[in-house]
Amino acid sequence: MKVVLRNPRREIEVAGPVKVSVLLDRLEINPESVLVIRGDTLAARDEDLSDDDVVEIRPVMSGGAA
């Protein structure tokens, strides 16, 4: 599958099928710090990703009023 990472933006190929949680573990990414998006939908950590998926991993941003 194609995995698009942000900050800095880069693309890598990862063999599937694999669960979201396993993908994040392989990439050494803290699951609490990112959103995983498959196509146009948010992917839960227990979802299976297939070899032909395109997945984007975005850092979680938080903010608030001053």
Could you tell me whether strands 10-13 and 18-19 are parallel, antiparallel, or unpaired per DSSP bridges? unpaired
pLDDT: is 22 or 8 the higher one? 22
| Res. 40: pLDDT tops 70 | yes
Count of beta carbons in the 10 Å neighbourhood of residue 43? 20
Query: To the nearest 5 percent, what fractions of the chain are helix, strand and coil?
Result: 15, 40, 45
- φ and ψ of 10, to 5 deg: -160, 160
Domains and CATH numbers, the chain: 2-59 (3.10.20.30)
Cα 65 to chain centroid distance, Å, stands at 28
> pLDDT band at 17, cuts 50/70/90?
very high
Confidence band, pLDDT 50/70/90 cuts, at residue 7: confident
> CA-CA distance, 62 to 15, in Å (whole number)?
31
Per residue in 42-54, pLDDT tens? 999 999 999 999 9
Instruction: State percent of the chain over pLDDT 90.
Output: 83
